[in-house]
Amino acid sequence: MKKRVALVLGSGGARGYAHIGVIEEIERRGYDIACIAGCSMGAVVGGIYAAGKLDEYRDWIESLDYLDVLRLVDVSFRLGAIRGEKVFGQIRKIVGEINIEDLRIPYTAVATDLTNQQEIWFQEGCLHQAMRASAAIPSLFTPVMQGNRMLVDGGILNPLPIVPVVSSHCDLIIAVNLNSTNQRHYQLPVIQRPAAFKSRFDSLINSLGSKLPFRRKQAEQLLLLEKEALMAEAAEINPWIESAEPEAQQPAAAPERAGAPKSATGSFIIDNVGPASLLDLINQSFEVMQTSLAQYKIAGYPPDILINVPKRVCRFFEFYKAPELIALGREIARDTMDRYENERDS
């Protein structure tokens, strides 16, 4: 008889794609996922899995490259950089209109109510709204207004929601922590991608500019600054995107360091020493808070199996790295489950 698993999927931005690989490995071993609780990207992946649409979602996200992800950015000048209507509109197309109580397994999405300063559990009602509220990452996605409540990412109060599954009467509780700091030996696998061209990036920026309805001149200046920042980041984190500046104006290459890691192109990877932008500063601060809170949740309600995904493997908002993160999630889950099963059988 299959062992029944209560699965807890934590928050962690783009690293949430690793949840897909974890789910695949758990199922491959013959376990039965009987209920799910999730926060932020964990709530999104968990909700899509509970709706039986994880394969379709994976096919979509694995088809996205760096510029495809940028096309999904619907710029907001209010309480978040992105409205999220394009991203969650696509998720709605994949999942359809369904209520949580109609899912094939029990499901809980955790969000934070800023108005009343409390944790909110979605265990019934619209699945789409629950996922959107739970994943409203501060500074990145705009909050969700529900009556007099302002709902944002559940990771503010509970980045690893173990409590909702404690009473599930499953054989095992498996929790996936995306904010681990002690898994130094894991690296993202190298997956070759087709080249992305600067002209595609320029056309994207132009299309964004044409859709801004107010303060056109200021908006164009803002987009130009954003373009320069994104191209600088692209040159650092994606070697297949052309630099925005002519080669002659590029800064001198960093000196080689003995033993320093190299990228797929052979260039040396220099560790980041601090945030590169205001958004990066906010997200790094958010991650530090989540890391601390997750440790308290694990200590209070230790799961039977804890799968730790190191937070250093990618930045919070690198949502174009789905294939690599799915593969990494599968690898870490395989190693963790091997250790658990070997200890159980010894």
Measured between alpha carbons, how far is residue 1 from residues 20, 167, 174, 343 in Å? 24, 21, 18, 20
Query: Is 40 among the residues known to form the active site?
Result: yes
| Integer Cα distance of 157 and 155 in angstroms | 5
| Integer Cα distance of 133 and 141 in angstroms | 10
Tell me the β-bridge partners of 33: 5
Asked if residues 15 and 318 have their Cβ atoms less than 8 Å apart, the reply is no
Question: Helix, strand, or coil here: 70?
Answer: helix
Question: Which position has the token pair 């080249």?
Answer: 195
Measured between alpha carbons, how far is residue 37 from residues 2, 48, 50, 89, 294 in Å? 20, 12, 10, 22, 14
End-to-end CA separation in angstroms for the chain: 20
Residue 312's CB is within 10 A of a number of other CB atoms, namely 14
Say which of 40, 134, 168, 180 is annotated catalytic: 40
The dihedrals phi and psi of 135, each to the nearest 5 degrees, come to -100, 15
Say which of 113, 153, 168, 180 is annotated catalytic: 153
Asked if residues 336 and 305 have their Cβ atoms less than 8 Å apart, the reply is yes
CB hemisphere CA count around 260 (13 angstroms)? 13
Query: Is 153 among the residues known to form the active site?
Result: yes
Q: Cβ contacts of residue 241 below 8 Å, gap of 6+? A: 66, 67, 196, 198, 201, 231, 234, 235
Pairing of strands 172-180, 144-146: unpaired
Residues annotated as catalytic are 40, 153
